[in-house]
A and B are shown apart, each in its own frame.
Chain A
Amino acid sequence: MDLCKLGIVELQSLLKNKEVSSVELANSFLARVSQVDSKIHAFLHLDSENILNQARSADQLISRGEFDNKPLLGIPIAIKDVIAVKGERLGCASRILDGFVSPYDATVIEKLKAAGAIVFGRLNMDEFAMGSSTENSAFGPTHNPWAIGYAPGGSSGGSAAAVSALECPAALGSDTGGSIRQPAALCGCVGVKPTYGRVSRFGLVAFASSLDQIGPLTRSSQDAAVLLEVICGWDKRDCTSVNEPVQSFSKNLTGDIKGLKIGLPREYFIKGLDPEVNNAVLDAVKLLEKLGASVLEISLPHTEYAVATYYIIATAEASANLARFDGIRYGLRVDGSDLFELYCKTRGKGFGSEVKRRILLGTYVLSSGYYDAYYLRAQKVRTLIRNDFIEAFKKVDVIVTPTTPTPAFKLGEKSGDPLQMYLSDVFTISCNLAGICGVSIPCGFTAQPKLPIGLQILGKHFDELTILNTAFAFQQATDWHKQFPEI
């Protein structure tokens, strides 16, 4: 149990000093999962034998002192069920991928394995990463470790809950409109959405290809830095990955933010913002000021159009990407009298309601006669949203906002009203549309029930170092991230 409270950086040093073996570590986390996951349901699948085999191999390398270029040697990292791991199930929490086994590793998984990590199970999510609560999983929702019966956020709700419930030291998620940062905020952990192009999407099941990024969920900003620097980098198999030099984020965390210019966008401090969230975020800003940063009010004038823009662009891209699930080459097949009927029945049976809703919306906005009115218009508004950030970043180094307008909501509270659910992503969506990077870190709790509150720090394209360093400075001065839920 005590081992489970440690993060990547602490575990690295214990493993290096041979104070603990990778097998002991794997056993501790496996025990923790069997102890708490019946209540949390963060994991869809966990193969202990496979995990222990990986740990035994890691221990052999450790005994020979082979730590070079293996920053994650022996450390378990859990994976959202949307990223391919060779020989393991890949389901996207959907019935339509029943029984699917990945024939290859995603690039991020190759990188994790090369770095020595133990690939630790499959994490629950909203089906095809569409949702903000994990209630759209075909296999039942994940619960918030801080309050059973509350949503962990989504779509990477399993990833955030597993990290927060101490079931793994770190996890990978994916973020298309907030799917890493929003659950990180609601579960009280650190979640990074890297700059678009920073991390290869090869082996990530596509939802909206111009918005999707893989990123880390951890308990500290240092751990996020370590994991991010392992997974990022140019990949010839993803033409949208960008050949930017990858600096060592973890080695460059100084915790010094003297002179840092912080922008507070007035459009994010609006009615509808929960007062406890508002207060916690403003307190966090005061602390950052005390640490040497200066604060400036800024404007991102097209913020109110972000949700509408997103739900046109993301659904349009999804309707094209999810055309591949047709019952021919893999996954579920429901027979029909002809090919057309086979397609319709397979997709009708295999997809859940939210996925159907989004494919239908995307099909509509791309359909003949509506393209200009919806899709093209949304792409133009996207330019304006992107320009808002480029203008703002001429004046400030980072932008600080609440990650979500409210703390975790109850399971079932919003599931009947898709629009209300969409609006819970109002503060995270613009970052994906603009392609910039962002991190959410814990910055307080509500009183009753005790639920985590997230602070979002947004940075310039490819400036992950500054947002991580700001997060690091904040976490050096606070202990929000060192509090764990009672389960």
Chain B
Amino acid sequence: MMNKPDFDIKYIANLARIELTDEEEDLIGRQLSQILDYIEKLKQVDITGIEPTAHANPLVNVSRPDIVVGSLSKEEALMNAPQAANNLFIVPKIVE
């Protein structure tokens, strides 16, 4: 396990929705390979029968009464929008 011969920076950048320049692809690709080599050391650990920790404190589901409370106004929600009109965020056309 944990072999990484197929670390494909273009594929990962596409998944992460980040455009990289050619130089970035090259540099970050090499740096990540080096970091992944370092991470390989986790292979040495015997994890047989060990439960994963998702959170530092054992938490149970938290529920609360379903009560309507105040929230951001439309103006506040839109105040940082790159483009907005008629109480809506403007986005590029998403249907063909």
- B-binding residues in A (CB < 8 A): 99-101, 103-104, 196-197, 210-211, 236, 239-240, 242, 302, 304-305, 307-309, 311-312, 319, 323, 326-333, 335-336, 338-340, 342-345, 347-349, 351, 353, 356-357, 359-361, 363-364, 367, 372-374, 376-384, 386, 418-419, 422, 432-436, 461
Contacts and interface: CB of A to CB of B under 8 A. Distances in A.
Contacts of A357: 28, 31-32
9 contacts: A242-B57, A309-B42, A339-B92, A342-B92, A344-B18, A363-B15, A380-B52, A386-B53, A461-B57
Nearest to B55: A210
Contacts of B12: 360, 363-364, 367
A99 B17 CA distance: 22
A305 B41 contact: yes
A333 B52 contact: no
Given A339-B94, A360-B9, A210 B54 contact: yes
Given A210-B55, A373-B1, A104 B72 contact: yes
A302 B50 CA distance: 14
Interface in B8-57: 9, 12-21, 24, 27-28, 31-32, 34-36, 38-39, 41-42, 44-45, 47, 50-57
A344 B54 CA distance: 30
Contacts of B36: 361, 364
B31 to A, nearest CB: 5
Contacts of B17: 323, 326, 340, 343-344, 347
B19 A347 contact: yes
B56 A435 contact: yes
Contacts of B24: 353, 356
Contact of B35 (A349, A377, A419): A419
Given A344-B17, A360-B28, A367-B15, A379 B35 contact: no
Task: Identify which of B7, B39, B62, B83 gathers the most chain A CB atoms within 10 Å of its CB.
Answer: B39
B45 A103 contact: no
Contacts of A339: 91-92, 94
A374 B47 CA distance: 12
Contacts of A305: 41-42, 44-45
Interface of B: 1-2, 7, 9, 12-21, 24, 27-28, 31-32, 34-36, 38-39, 41-42, 44-45, 47, 50-57, 59, 62, 64, 72, 76-77, 79-83, 89, 91-94
A307 B38 CA distance: 9
A272 to B, nearest CB: 15
